[in-house]
Amino acid sequence: MDSPFVQLLILIIAANGAPIMVRYLVQNRWKRPVDCGYCLTGNNRLFGNTKTWRGLISSLVITSLLGWWMGYEIKTGLLIAAGAMSGDLFSSFIKRRLRLPPSSMAPLLDQVPESLVPAILVIQTFRLTALDIVYLVAVFFVLEYVLSFMLYRLGVRKKPY
């Protein structure tokens, strides 16, 4: 694994972890849902209460600053965060259509879009091959489970996944 690959992995983890860490720090403040309570049909929410503007903004800001600190342009961090959050919203949208409860576990659906979309968006910046992307998604999948469990044990996450 070369340094840009590891740096991209760190940025993707930061993009996905920032909303969790900020929620832990500020508790219930500023938790306006991205979907503003909108339902497509009946009581079937678009994304649900756990997808908030606070989380989206924290991901964009923290990932951009971390990327800049690592020597990348601010827009690189913005692309990674926007891709990760778009993947997360896509997963949430699908889970609501499948009538899964908010914050429920859906292996692969919870990890693949959150790592695949940002990797595709910065494929040229990080000079990624298709194999690099497959490897990145696989490593993120494993790390996400490990980190999620650790954050649960530390009391940062509400559930161990």
pLDDT in tens, 45-104: 888 888 999 999 999 999 999 999 999 999 999 999 999 999 999 999 999 888 887 777
Q: Where are the alpha helices (DSSP H) in the chain?
A: 3-26, 53-69, 74-97, 112-121, 130-153
What rounded mean pLDDT belongs to the chain? 91
Indicate the domain borders of the chain: 3-153
**What average pLDDT does this structure show over 112-135?**
96
Q: Using an 8 Å Cβ cutoff, are 84 and 55 in contact? A: no
Q: Is the pLDDT of residue 43 over 90?
A: no
pTM summary value? 0.90
pLDDT for res 9: 97
Closest by alpha carbon to 100, among 92, 88, 112? 92
**What average pLDDT does this structure show over 8-21?**
94
Query: What confidence category does residue 5 fall into, taking pLDDT thresholds of 50, 70 and 90?
Result: very high
Give residue-wise pLDDT tens across range 128-139.
999 999 999 999
pLDDT for res 23: 87
pLDDT for res 2: 56
Q: Is the pLDDT of residue 115 over 70?
A: yes
